[in-house]
């Protein structure tokens, strides 16, 4: 156990604002840490101030904050634990003479803490429903392409991967990309028309990025589909080699990429739609609980 961990444990045990001397006494009496310094009490005070969110000392900048000072001078200064550790920097504003006119605490969290918090927010039961729905949607949507690819392998001695890629590049697949994107706009319209409470429960994360790639994917799908369709006609009927060459570009992996992005957008929409359903359930459950409590309170008053 480190000194800081011993201080934190002691403050939790004490359960109220404590001075550095009280913290030191608690550490020693419970044998939380064995000091080797000549002046261990001063070490406790330094550590408390270094790791307190509202103590402005230069050596404490960028340190992880565990504590908060409750005020007081010298031996009478008292400290408490924060609800959760944070990182912070002090941002200072100066006037023309170099004097500090404003000092504010800029809080930040470590990347691993952010990832951990985001990971804990995931509802895997909703992901499970979305994955199953995605599987059956893809199976039904790609079934004509799969059957055509298998027939090419059987009748034309074509490779399965080549046959499948040719089908993906054929142009018709971009009708599917447009269909995959449409649920996003349905989710957006439903969100805009929901009331304030529902919006608070069912916020759309990363909306700006998702909306941007949705528009890009939609326009790319439309352009590619039109390009293939017109290209087929031009290559069959145009006499100029220059004109034919303008419509001879093979999108290849780009076509697969556009389809994949559209699928990601569809999954996002599916997940948010199922999460929205859960939000409505939470609202109904809370309303039912409120009615139940009101009924019980009224019943007690009648007695």
289 occurs within a structural domain: no
- Reported confidence tier of residue 22, pLDDT bands at 50, 70, 90: very high
CA distance 249 to 251: 6
Q: Do 93 and 200 reside in the same domain of the chain?
A: no
For residues 278 and 126, the answer to whether their CB atoms sit within 8 Å is yes
Count of beta carbons in the 10 Å neighbourhood of residue 141:
16
The reply to whether 185 and 153 lie within a common domain is yes
Q: How many domains does the chain have?
A: 2
**Quick one: CA dihedral 182, 188, 193, 199, positive or negative?**
positive
Predicted pLDDT of residue 101: 46
Going across the sheet that includes 79-94, the strands are 64-69, 79-94, 100-108
What residues pair up with 67 in beta bridges, in sequence order?
52, 81
- Range name among 127-136, 147-156, 171-180, 281-290 with the lowest pLDDT average: 281-290
* Amino acid 281: pLDDT: 60
User: Is residue 292 in a domain?
Assistant: no
Same domain for 87 and 189? no
- What integer is the mean pLDDT of 258-284? 75
| Mean of the per-residue pLDDT values of the chain | 76
- CB-based burial label for 52 (10 Å; 0-12, 13-18, 19+): buried
Cα separation values, 177 from 165, 239, 283, Å: 15, 33, 34
CB 282 within 8 A of CB 227: no
Residue 249 counted as domain residue: yes
Question: In terms of domains, do 51 and 164 share one?
Answer: no
Which residue intervals of 157-252 are DSSP H helices? 160-168, 173-192, 196-201, 207-237, 241-246
CA separation (Å) from 171 to 3, 153, 259? 66, 20, 11
| Cross-strand bridge partners of residue 103 | 92
Of residues 76 and 112, more confidently modeled: 76
Token pair 């060459």 is found at 245
Taking the mean position of all CA atoms in its chain, how far away is CA 294? Answer: 37
Looking at the structure, do residues 128 and 167 belong to the same domain, yes or no?
Answer: yes
Q: Is residue 297 part of a domain?
A: no
Short-list 194, 212, 218, CA closest to 275 = 194
pLDDT at 19: 92
Containing structural domain, residue 241 = 122-281
Asked if the structure places residue 298 within a domain, the reply is no
Cβ neighbourhood burial of 234 (10 Å; 0-12, 13-18, 19+): middle
- pLDDT per position as a tens digit, 155-167: 887 787 777 777 6
Claim to verify: residue 41 and residue 169 sit in the same structural domain: no
């Amino acid at each position: 156990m480190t000194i800081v961990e011993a201080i934190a444990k002691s403050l939790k045990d004490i359960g109220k604002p404590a001075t550095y001397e009280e913290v030191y006494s608690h550490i020693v009496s419970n044998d939380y840490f064995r000091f080797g310094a000549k002046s261990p009490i001063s070490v406790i005070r330094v550590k408390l101030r270094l790791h307190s969110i509202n103590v402005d000392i230069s050596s404490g900048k960028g340190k992880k904050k565990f504590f908060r000072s409750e005020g007081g001078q010298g031996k009478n200064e008292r400290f408490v634990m924060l609800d959760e550790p944070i990182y912070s920097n002090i941002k200072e504003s100066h006037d023309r003479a170099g004097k500090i006119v404003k000092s504010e605490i800029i809080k930040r969290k470590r990347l691993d803490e952010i990832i951990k918090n985001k990971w804990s927010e995931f509802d895997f039961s909703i992901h499970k429903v979305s994955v199953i729905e995605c599987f059956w949607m893809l199976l039904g949507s790609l079934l004509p392409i799969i059957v055509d690819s298998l027939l090419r392998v059987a009748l034309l001695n074509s490779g399965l991967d080549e046959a499948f890629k040719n089908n993906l590049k054929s142009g018709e697949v971009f009708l599917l990309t447009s269909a995959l994107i449409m649920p996003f706009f349905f989710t957006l319209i439903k969100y805009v028309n929901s009331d304030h409470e529902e919006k608070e429960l069912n916020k759309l994360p990363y909306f700006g990025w998702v909306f941007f790639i949705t528009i890009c994917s939609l326009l790319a799908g439309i352009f590619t589909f039109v390009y293939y369709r017109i290209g087929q006609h031009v290559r069959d009927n145009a006499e100029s080699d220059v004109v034919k060459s303008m419509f001879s570009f093979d999108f290849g992996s780009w076509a697969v990429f556009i389809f994949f992005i559209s699928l990601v957008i569809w999954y996002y929409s599916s997940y948010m739609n199922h999460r929205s359903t859960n939000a409505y359930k939470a609202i109904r459950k809370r309303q039912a609980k409120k009615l139940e409590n009101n009924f019980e309170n009224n019943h007690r008053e009648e007695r």
